[in-house]
Structure 1
Amino acid sequence: MVVQVVLWGTLLLLMWLVFLKKPSALPPGRWGLPLIGYVPITRRSIEQQVTELRDKYGDINLWRMGTQVMVFLHDYQLIKEAFNRPEIQGRPQWETLRLRETQPSGIVSSIGLRWHNNRRFTLQQLRDLGMGKSKLVAAMHTQATQLVEELKKQVDSPAPLPHAFNVAVVNIIWQMVAGTQFAPGDPKLKEFENIMDSLLESLDRIAIPDFFPWLHNILPSWFMARMFKLDMAENTKKRFLDFFSGIIAEHRTTFDPDNLRDLIDGYLMEMDERKDDPNNTSDERDLGLLIFDLFVAGSEATKDTLIWMIYYMATNPHMQRRMQAEIDKALPRGTQVTLQDRPRMPYMEAVIHETLRVSSLSTYGIQHQGTEDTTLAGYIIPKGTLISSSNTSVHHSPRYWHQPHKFMPDRWLDHNGKLDSKKEGFLPFGVGRRQCVGESLAHMELFIVGTTLFLSLSSSVPPDKSLSLSPLPGTQILHVPMPQDVLVTVRGE
């Protein structure tokens, strides 16, 4: 009997050491059970729980979710070090990111040579097509002006901000990608938005098997497809690629290598010039998924940031008046804002930067994955570990910001009143080798569209109402602004 007790005790101890106890060399945090990880029974959001991990364990901590080992970083310097490491440049092999592609394509989920080629190409295209180029700036002026006209329809009548915000931002990206803009109400625009909405809607369900991949081994494929919307995601992705294959085909028939009109033309040129290059990774399917990445990353983030800016100005009317006085001084009546006006409008730039910081739209950015065993902050980071930057923790940290939860654009101005944008602890577009390629384009849009809006209009909190500056409840990884009534007035009337 004693021998049996000893044997069972030894077996349980071994199971604890091998399967249940977190290896001591890993960062501190939540470990949980094999295959399941640590699944708390709580109503607290993921963000609240990760904040609790930071408060308990410090700037680097771990949470095993299902089979996925997630490491969260809460310090800017630590994030910068990690995301510049060559061995931490991978991406999770999640269907959510890969869109069920055998070979990850585009720029967000790709790795290795394909990612390198797509990043180089996209940065070059953004320099050639953006950075103040006349066609793209003209598109921003057109969309901003149309947005002002849409907002004027609800002047003096408190109402949520219109869908026209989404249309404006989509059209700006469309101009860069395909050289055209949709008219409001265009059936093809509605079709495109429907495809994007359907695909994004299905991603929540797809994400569950990403954390519990062993479900594929125990559940029938038909059940997996229905339960986790795998077929819906696949069909919607096909609709998206079919939609753009027609546009790419049209570009092929009118392609002129001496007159490149947009990003699609640039990619077709790349395909032709490098078709015999053994390092070439370009093909039309990759182009379609690259376009998808640009729309998902660019349209939602820019639209939501503009809405946050309007909310912050509505709740801080003295700041709005100061910003508008600067706009009036910099722009003679009847002129349109250009990028050359930026040095004369430091407070407008400060408002944009502070909106990006306080709203902290992307809570954790896009996860990196270790491609080999490494160490970080004295801990072992095994190959395959997922590493997330806790952007909100950094943006709201007193280590980097005085009164971090307060909206204070003046923190971005130096003693001469000039913009001081180089600050530690600021990473709305990420940091390191995989930093967002669209950062310069986003700043252009926010400056030109934002200036155009506040040149003509003012926003305020409706009488006898309040305006919440908390993100929409239920969104786990994005700080989406709540739809709510805003009072819009025409300036000078």
Structure 2
Amino acid sequence: MVVEVLLWGALLLLLWLSFLKKPSGLPPGRWGLPLIGYIPLTRRSIEQQVTDLREKYGDIYLWRMGTQVIVFLHDYQLIKEAFNRPEILDRPLWDTFKLREIEPKGIVSTSGLRWQNNRRFTIRQLRDLGMGKSRLVAAMHTQATQLVQEFKKQADRSAPVPYVLTVAIVNIIWQMIGGQQFALTDSKLKEFEEIVDNLIVSMSRVAISDYMPWLHSVLPAWLMSRIFRLDLIDYAKARFLEFFNEEIRQHRVTLDPNNPRDLIDGYLMEIDKRKDDPDSTFNEKDLALLIFDLFTAGSETTKASLTWMMYYLATNPQVQRKMQAEIDKVLPKGILATLEDKARLPYVEAVIHETMRVSSLVPFGVQHITSQDTSLGGYIIPKGTLISSSTISIHNNPHYWPQPNKFLPERWLDDNGQFNSKKEGFLPFSLGKRQCAGEALARMELFIFSTALLQSLSFAIPPGKTLDLRYLPGNPIMHLPIPQDLIVSVRE
């Protein structure tokens, strides 16, 4: 009997040391149980809990969710250091990222040589096609003009932000990718928009299977798909790839190597150039999923940012009037802004940046994973640990931003009223070597579209109503605005 008790005691001790007790040297935080990690019995949101954890543990701590150990970073310099480390560059092999592909493809979910090749190619191609340059401005002016015209159709009545905003933003990126544009009434684009919206709404359920991958070994595939809505990933991928693959086939048939038209042509030429290289990562499936990454990421974020801006301006009419006064002073009536006007429109730039700060569109950034054992902030970080930047925490930290809960574009202006973009604690496009590849394009769109809208229109809260500036609930990945009505008036 004594021997059995000792054996059971030894077994329990081994279990405790191996699975239940957090290994020494790791950051402090929530460890929880094997397989399921720490599941709090609370209705507080993830963001509220992360705020509590920072107050308890400081700027670096961990939270084991399922079998995934996530280290949260709340310090700007710590994030900058981490995301420039070669051993903290990779992406986790999550279905959320890789769209249930066996081997990740595209740019968002890939790591190593494939990611390097796709990222370098994408940035080079987008720059050649006008990203960050004046040559793309004319196309943006066309979309901005149509955008204003459609807004005017709902003038003086309570209505939501019109669908044309999606069309205008998608058309810019699609012009660069496929050399085409969607019509306002195009049913295919509306279908894609609905698919992406449904996928985003269900993303928190999809993510559960990423945190607990062992469930795939326990539950049948059909049940996993039904419970965690993995079917939405499969459906979205299938519908998008059907469309993209047809575009790739059409480009292949009409390809002129001496006159490449767009990113698809450029990628097909890269495939041909490297066809005899056994180590080449370029192929048409990779191209299709690269297009998916650019199509979705390049439209959803900019659309949400502009919608947030309209909400903040309607809520802060004094800011809106000041923004419009600057536009009126600099731009003659009917003349749209160009990139050369940025320096003369510092308050417009300030409003754009304050919108990105307050909305904190991607509150925890896009997760990285360590490819080898390393150390950070004085702690051991084992291989396979997820690293997450708490963007929302930093954007609301009074150390970086006095009165962080207030919408104050003036914080972006120096004593001479000039725009100052170099602010520590600002990371809407992340930091380091995986910083958003389309940042320059997003900045162009936000500047051109916002000036065009405010030059011709004003936005107000419907009489007797208030705007709910909370984030759309149920989505821990993105801070999307709640769909609401605005009153649009045409400026004389």
Which category of TM-score, normalised to the shorter sequence, fits these structures?
A: over 0.9
What is aligned with 1:437?
Answer: 437
Q: How far off its partner does 1:199 sit?
A: 4.9
Range with bigger deviation, 436-445 or 333-342: 333-342
Please name the residue that 2:321 is paired with. 321
Amino acid at match of 1:27: P
Question: Which residue in 1 is equivalent to 2:448?
Answer: 448
Distance 1:99-1:131 versus aligned 2 partners, 3 A rule: closer
**What secondary structure is seen at the aligned counterpart in 1 of 2:434?**
coil
Q: Judging changes above 3 Å, is the alpha-carbon distance between structure 1 residues 220 and 303 closer, same or farther for their aligned structure 2 residues?
A: same
CA distance in 2 between partners of 1:448 and 1:304 (Å): 16
SS in 2 for 1:486: strand
TM-score normalised to structure 1 length = 0.96
1:196 to partner: Cα distance: 3.7
Q: Equivalent residue for 1:121?
A: 121
What is the alpha-carbon root mean square deviation over aligned residues? 1.8
- Offset at residue 431 of structure 1 (A): 0.2
Does structure 1 residue 54 correspond to structure 2 residue 62? no
Q: Is 2:204–2:476's contact at 8 Å kept on the other side of the alignment?
A: no
Residues 391-402 of structure 1 aligned to structure 2 (within 5 Å) = 391-402=391-402
- Identify if the C-alpha distance between structure 1 residues 191 and 317 changes in structure 2 by more than 3 Å, giving closer, same or farther: closer
Going from structure 1 to structure 2, the CA distance change for 1:349 and 1:134 (only over 3 Å counts) comes to closer
- Cα distance in 2, alignment partners of residues 416 and 280 from structure 1: 52
Q: How does 1:127-142 map to 2 (within 5 A)?
A: 127-131=127-131, 133=133, 136-142=136-142
User: 1:218, 1:319 → 2: CA distance?
Assistant: 55
Contact 1:354–1:407, Cα closer than 8 Å, also in 2: yes
Change (3 A) 1:78 1:276: same
1:334 matched to which residue of 2?
334
Q: Which residue of 2 aligns with 1:44?
A: 44
2:190 matched residue in structure 1: 190
Aligned to 2:145: 145
Give yes or no for contact 1:245–1:288 (8 Å, CA) kept in 2.
yes
Is it true that 1:378 corresponds to 2:361 in the alignment? no
- Per-residue displacement from partner, 1:359-380 (whole Å, max 9, x unpaired)? 1110011100000000111111
Give yes or no for contact 1:350–1:410 (8 Å, CA) kept in 2: yes
Detail structure 1 runs of 4+ shifted over 6 Å in the superposition: none
Give the 3-state SS of the residue equivalent to 1:433 in structure 2.
Answer: helix
**Do the aligned residues in 2 keep the contact of 1:51 with 1:393 (CA within 8 Å)?**
yes
Q: Residue type of the partner of 1:242? A: E
Match of residue 282 from structure 1: 282
1:202, 1:233 within 8 Å by CA — same for their partners in 2?
no
State the match for 2:233 in structure 1: 233
Q: Distance in 2 between matches of 1:241 and 1:12?
A: 51
* 1:61-210 equivalence runs, <5 A: 61-131=61-131, 133=133, 136-197=136-197, 199-200=199-200, 203-210=203-210
The percentage of aligned residue pairs carrying the same residue is 68
Q: Which moved more, 1:198-207 or 1:466-475?
A: 198-207
The whole-number CA distance in structure 2 between the counterparts of 1:140 and 1:86 is 37
Give me the whole-angstrom Cα distance separating, in 1, the residues matched to 2:22 and 2:390. 22
- Matched AA of 1:381: I
* Structure-2 change in CA distance of 1:486 and 1:190 (3 Å): closer
Structure 2 CA distance, aligned partners of 1:137 and 1:261? Answer: 17
CA contact (8 A) 2:313 2:459 kept: yes
CA distance in 2, matches of 1:192, 1:8: 57
Determine the C-alpha separation between the residues in 2 that align with 1:228 and 1:437.
30
- Structure 1 match to 2:354: 354
- Give a deviation string over 1:395-445, Cα, whole Å, max 9, x none: 111111111121111111112222110111000000011111011000000
- The alpha carbon displacement at 1:320 in A equals 1.1
Offset, 1:342: 0.9
1:366 corresponds to: 366
- 1:464 matched to 2:453? The reply is no
CA distance change for structure 1 residues 227 and 132 in 2, over 3 Å: closer, same or farther? closer
**Per-residue deviation at 1:150?**
1.7
| Comparing 124-133 and 81-90, the one that deviates more | 124-133
1:194-247 CA distances to partner (integer Å, 9 max, x unpaired)? 454455456444322211111122222332233333344324312211211111
Structure 1, unaligned runs of 5 or more: none
* 1:143-173 deviation per Cα after TM superposition (whole angstroms, max 9, x unaligned): 2222212211221112221222222211111
Counterparts of 1:100 and 1:82, CA distance in 2? 27
- Alignment TM-score, normalising by the size of structure 2: 0.96
Please tell me whether residue 344 in structure 1 is matched to residue 344 in structure 2.
yes
Deviation at 1:193, TM superposition (A): 3.1
Equivalent position SS for 2:292: helix
Structure 2 match to 1:418 = 418
- Give, as a single letter, the amino acid of the residue that structure 2 aligns with 1:317: P
Instruction: Give the corresponding residue for 1:308.
Output: 308
Deviation of the 1:139 alpha carbon: 2.5
Q: For residue 353 of structure 1, report the CA deviation from its aligned partner.
A: 0.7
Decide whether the 8 Å contact of 1:47 with 1:477 is kept in 2.
Answer: no
C-alpha distance after superposition, 1:33-80 (max 9, x if no partner): 000100112111111111111111000011100000011000000000
Give the aligned residue type for 1:20.
L
**Distance change >3 Å, CA 375–CA 9, structure 1 → 2:** same
Secondary structure (helix, strand or coil) at the match of 2:364 reads coil
The residue number in structure 2 matching 1:215 is: 215
Do the aligned residues in 2 keep the contact of 1:179 with 1:262 (CA within 8 Å)? yes
Deviations 1:436-460 (A, max 9, x none): 1011000000000111000100111
